[in-house]
Structure 1
Amino acid sequence: MTQTRYAFVKANWHADIVDRALEGFCQVIPASEVDVFDVPGAFELPLVARDLAASGRYKAVAAAAFVVDGGIYRHEFVAQAVVDGLMRAGLDTGVPVLSVSLTPHHYQETEHHAEIYRAHFIKKGQEAAQAALMIARTRAALAA
């Protein structure tokens, strides 16, 4: 069976920013080909991404989160665990799992910073979709 769908899983923390990644993703891959899933936060992304990839229904899985430095060291552990988990999900399942998970060092909850990151997440969502399409083409060529 040839997969024609893509999964997009996103963290609900900072949804006003993170949801822009889905917007950018769907500017490249039609929304009608994308199934969207929400998780509470970034830490839950790898498990759900792995489950989606293992389902056999998707060409690729994109995962988006915004892990901010809240003044404690924890954000670095979370960010590293998320990226490592997403990479492992892709390697374990053989399905590309793409990260749109960003960890800015200097984010302040102001409208100015929020607007900067909203625009950035649109761009990163577009880049994830382009990567999903490119890796699908490359893997198809390898299989031929």
Structure 2
Amino acid sequence: MNQTVQTSASTPSLATPRRVALVCASWHQDIVHQARDAALAEFARQGLPAGQVDLYDVPGAFEIPLLAKKLAASGRYDAVVACALVVNGGIYRHEFVASAVIDGLMRVQLDTGVPVLSAVLTPRDFHEHADHLAFFQAHFVKKGVEVAQACLGALVQLARVPAAA
């Protein structure tokens, strides 16, 4: 998610109405929902109204891949976007959780052919004090914009692929 993808007059636009599912983990919701809200605003700015983005909340990041799979397999969504903050809780579990989530999301994408994009972030250091909370809230705004741009860019590029004969 370190690249910014923008649709513009020189880039093919989304020719047909699209529907996107946006799945957020409830842990650290005050931070995670910054990405959700920024993604919704960017989708709207790029021409995908909020009415075409369905919001889902799950208890934690670990629950995202299963819901993403069900959403992608439903045939209702052109893309699924996931947002979460996986933090080091002091028991060295966060790296395994983050890896399982990202691997699961990739598997969903490859198994279903539906783009699955991730703003699931795992900072090396996170402490619940004012400085870190403010930093990560702002960072998640940036990542929300980036994941929405990447989502729309992926949909545009996938629409350019000729259908199999």
Indicate the TM-score class for this superposition, using the shorter chain for normalisation.
over 0.9
Does residue 135 (structure 1) correspond to residue 143 (structure 2)? The answer is no
Counting only pairs closer than 5 Å after superposition, residues 1-144 of structure 1 correspond to structure 2 as 4-30=18-44, 31-143=50-162
Query: Secondary structure at 1:29's aligned position in 2?
Result: helix
Q: Could you report, residue by residue, the CA deviation over 1:35-90 in whole angstroms, capped at 9, with x for unpaired residues?
A: 00010000000000111111111111000110001112111100100000011011
TM-score between the two structures when normalised by the length of structure 2: 0.83
What's the offset of the Cα at 1:3? 5.8
Distance 2:142 2:76 in 1: 26
Distance 1:38 1:121 in 2: 16
Distance 1:128 1:81 in 2: 20
Q: Could you report, residue by residue, the CA deviation over 1:12-48 in whole angstroms, capped at 9, with x for unpaired residues?
A: 0000000011111012112222100010000000000
Query: Secondary structure at 1:98's aligned position in 2?
Result: strand
Distance 1:75 1:128 in 2: 22
Q: Could you report, residue by residue, the CA deviation over 1:104-136 in whole angstroms, capped at 9, with x for unpaired residues?
A: 111000121011111111111111111111111
Ranges in structure 2 where 5+ consecutive residues have no aligned partner: 1-15, 45-49
4+ runs deviating over 4 angstroms: none
Residue correspondences, number: 143
Query: Secondary structure at 1:120's aligned position in 2?
Result: helix
Match for 2:53: what amino acid? V
Ranges in structure 1 where 5+ consecutive residues have no aligned partner: none
Q: How well do the aligned residues superpose, as a CA RMSD in angstroms?
A: 1.2
Distance 2:146 2:108 in 1: 20
Larger radius of gyration: 2
Query: Secondary structure at 2:125's aligned position in 1?
Result: coil
Which is worse superposed, 23-32 or 118-127?
23-32
| Identity level (%) | 57
Greater per-residue helix proportion: 1
Query: Secondary structure at 1:105's aligned position in 2?
Result: coil
Query: Secondary structure at 1:95's aligned position in 2?
Result: coil
Query: Could you tell me whether the CA contact under 8 Å between 1:3 and 1:57 is conserved in 2?
Result: no
TM-score between the two structures when normalised by the length of structure 1: 0.95
Query: Secondary structure at 2:87's aligned position in 1?
Result: coil
